[in-house]
Structure 1
């Protein structure tokens, strides 16, 4: 890792003099968003199997030295699958926080180029940068790059991109945790699946999980602590965590604007009726 950092600093230096790595801008700022997450893993509501596997992954990276003393490497390739709004990005952020590493999120508008070989070249630049240090490399909407190569409607260029992407993922060292997320598993190339040591599904919340999530959200709002989460959860059958969070935020906005005469129970019923109406129209 240090050798790669020194080589990058020397290559980016002026007149052969390496720049200060702490002050120089990221050489791939137009290709990734680099952030430091503060989302705690315990703040998420996850299926039991998913939570167990993720805790095991975190422990493997925290005790890497022990594993390596036995010639074993920690798992570092994770594929998240599930409908939108159910915590895939949040889970990636929490993993970065628990592992105490920066999170590099791919910017597809910067990665995908219109010229032959341009996308693969930019991808290689991202992977070369990521392997210089411990980090979490996150690909949201992974089907954008990991498309099925057997699709007759795709061009030869996307097939070369998928091949290059898979080779780069294979060559990543264990200190780079790569997390990919997709809403459309059917679009992924078949070879993508076997690249990932952890394949986790994040479904929509059950009624019990929706109740727990609402309880947490209501507890954060002083005026909403009298609301019964279990009653509202029945109305959110089939909704995502994002849908529930949007409802609570909308409730908070309407209540604040109604101060000092706001009736939280009445506003909650009104907002719930509006949400149901919108959900019905979207399902048609």
Structure 2
């Protein structure tokens, strides 16, 4: 495994921007782990290094995205946008292959956007995420920003939507001006609060006007930013919205295979050799990625507080049942 010298060398090479040295040291760590019998860790580390290096080689020199400083919203925008700079990667997410393939295509087009534009085409950049709570919609927005090295701006709908005539549309215009000026991922969470059906009898005239404004702004937007909305209730969205988005991605509750991947990943630092996975997966049926993660965290805390090095099936099953009880 990694020695103190390896860790120091990794940090120094990263600080110096010496990628080749960084990768070489990582491969030394993998080789040392393999000699000590940690074959899975060694293989995972080698695969990760190979994947990153091949990704860097795939991007042409002019297309590599360098981290940019977080632009903190000022003035009126400070009450409308929350800025962050995520470092999440898709390798950390447990998603089914169909979603993973679509997200990889989005990243490919974004990384090659200049080449696409040179041929009169635009990259996929207007996205709508739909699905049950806790299935990865918000994390996807963070991961897109992390993979592309750009900020994530989350729109605060409570600051955007007001009861005063015309004020919400004016604030929306400010957001789309920022979308044009500052490349980032702009994330409208709980999008149904803004995009509900215009013919709904429960909607006030102001919201209908705001939705009309949003549709116009979105259609006219030709920036380099990514605009993403997420909703748990796609059935109440205005039908016209779906035509304005380049891609609508539907998130499902995890399959047993994905559920096991989520739980094993969250418990990776603890001994799970005694876990009866068929029983645990049965108890976790119908839970979201987020619920599975929280159940694992609860079981892990129990093990740590009781000074156990291993996770028991009973603790995991009890924690999963507690998550089911919350949703009843």
Contact 2:295 2:319 (8 Å CA) reproduced: no
Give yes or no for the alignment of 1:139 onto 2:188.
Answer: yes
Contact 1:76 1:174 (8 Å CA) reproduced: no
Q: Any gaps of 5 or more consecutive residues in structure 2?
A: 1-68
Give the SS at the match of 2:222: coil
Tell me the equivalent position of 2:81: 32
Q: RMSD in angstroms over aligned alpha carbons?
A: 2.2
For 1:108-158, what per-residue CA distance to the aligned partner results, in whole angstroms no more than 9, with x for missing partners? Answer: 121111211111111111111221021111011100100100001211111
Tell me the equivalent position of 1:258: 306
Contact 2:215 2:244 (8 Å CA) reproduced: yes
Say if 1:225 and 1:171 are closer, same or farther in 2 by CA, change over 3 A: farther
Tell me the equivalent position of 1:279: 324
Output aligned runs, 1:107-186, within 5 Å.
107-186=156-235
CA apart distance, 1:102: 0.6
Contact 1:102 1:135 (8 Å CA) reproduced: yes
For 1:17-50, what per-residue CA distance to the aligned partner results, in whole angstroms no more than 9, with x for missing partners? Answer: xxxx999862311111111111101211222221
Give the SS at the match of 1:178: strand
For 1:41-63, what per-residue CA distance to the aligned partner results, in whole angstroms no more than 9, with x for missing partners? Answer: 12112222211111111111111
Taking the aligned partners of 1:161 and 1:53, their CA distance within structure 2 comes to 30
CA apart distance, 1:231: 3.9
What TM-score comes out, normalization by structure 1 length?
0.84
Tell me the equivalent position of 2:314: 269
Equivalent of 2:92 in 43, 54, 59 = 43
Aligned residues: 259
Say if 1:152 and 1:41 are closer, same or farther in 2 by CA, change over 3 A: same
Give yes or no for the alignment of 1:249 onto 2:297.
Answer: yes
What TM-score comes out, normalization by structure 2 length?
0.74
Q: Any gaps of 5 or more consecutive residues in structure 1?
A: 1-20
Higher relative contact order (CA 8 A, sep 6+): 1
Larger helix fraction of residues: 2
Answer with 235-244 or 172-181: which moved more. Answer: 172-181
Say if 1:72 and 1:242 are closer, same or farther in 2 by CA, change over 3 A: same
Say if 1:66 and 1:169 are closer, same or farther in 2 by CA, change over 3 A: same
